[in-house]
């Protein structure tokens, strides 16, 4: 198998996901099957072919930087899981 369980755990860590034993086994098998399939891309000669990163022909979609009113603070905070005094509360970051 191309991807090892160490790599699955590494990728899970980068993705901020914690896997249990069962998930590790399952994703190890599935990710290998999918990546094996994707390896067909290696056969294609793409020398000198530019990359397409978006599907429109737009090049510079910049707008004027003009301040305008958008959401009120209360509306923007309404979905926050924990808030106090108009700010979002998170677990302690600095010891």
Partner 1 sequence: MFEIARLYRRFGLRPVELLEELLGTIRRDNLNAYITVDEEGALRDAQEAEQILAQGSDDVLAGIPLAIKDNICTRGIRTTCGSNILADFVPAYDATVVERLRKRGAIIIGKTNLDEFAMGSTTTTSNAGPTKNPFDETRTPGGSSGGSAAAVAADLCAGALGSDTGGSIRQPASFCGITGLKPTYGSVSRFGLVAFASSLDQIGPMAHSARETAVLFDAIKGHDPKDSTSVPGEYAPIDLNALDMHGIRIGVPQEFFAEGLSPDVERAVRFGITAYEELGARIVPIRLPHIRYGVAVYYVIATAEASSNLARYDGVRYGLRADGAKDLTDMYLQTRSQGFGAEVKRRIMLGTYVLSAGYYDAYYKKASQVRTLIARDFSEAFGQCDLIAGPTSPVTSFGLDEMMDDPLSIYLLDIYTIPANLAGLPALSIPCGFAEDGLPIGMQLMAPHFREDRLLGAGMAFQDCTRFHRVKP
> What's the token pair of residue 25?
């086994």
Q: Which residues pair with 83 in a beta bridge?
A: 88
Alpha helices in the chain (DSSP H): 5-14, 21-38, 73-77
Indicate whether 1 belongs to the interface with partner 1 (CB under 8 A): no
Q: Cβ 49 to partner 1, closest distance in Å?
A: 4
Backbone phi and psi for residue 27, each to the nearest 5 degrees, phi listed first: -70, -30
| Contact yes or no for 35/2 (Cβ under 8 A) | yes
In whole angstroms, what is the distance from residue 67 CA to residue 37 CA? 48
When asked if residue 59 is in the footprint of partner 1 (CB under 8 A), the reply is no
Judged by CB under 8 A, the chain residues 14 through 33 that form the site for partner 1 are: 14-19, 23, 26-27, 30-31, 33
Q: How many residues bind partner 1 (CB under 8 A)?
A: 52
Binding site for partner 1 (CB under 8 A): 3, 7-8, 11-12, 14-19, 23, 26-27, 30-31, 33-35, 37-38, 40-42, 44, 46, 49-58, 61-63, 71, 75-76, 78-82, 88, 90-93
């Amino acid at each position: 198998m191309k991807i090892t369980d160490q790599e699955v755990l590494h990728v899970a860590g980068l993705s901020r996901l914690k896997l249990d034993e069962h998930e590790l086994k399952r994703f190890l098998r599935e990710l290998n099957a999918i990546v094996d399939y994707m390896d067909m891309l290696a056969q294609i000669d793409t020398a000198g072919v530019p990359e397409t990163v978006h599907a429109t022909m737009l090049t510079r979609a910049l707008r004027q930087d003009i301040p305008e009113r958008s959401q009120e603070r209360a509306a923007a905070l309404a979905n926050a899981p924990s808030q106090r005094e108009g700010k979002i509360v998170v677990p302690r970051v600095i010891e």
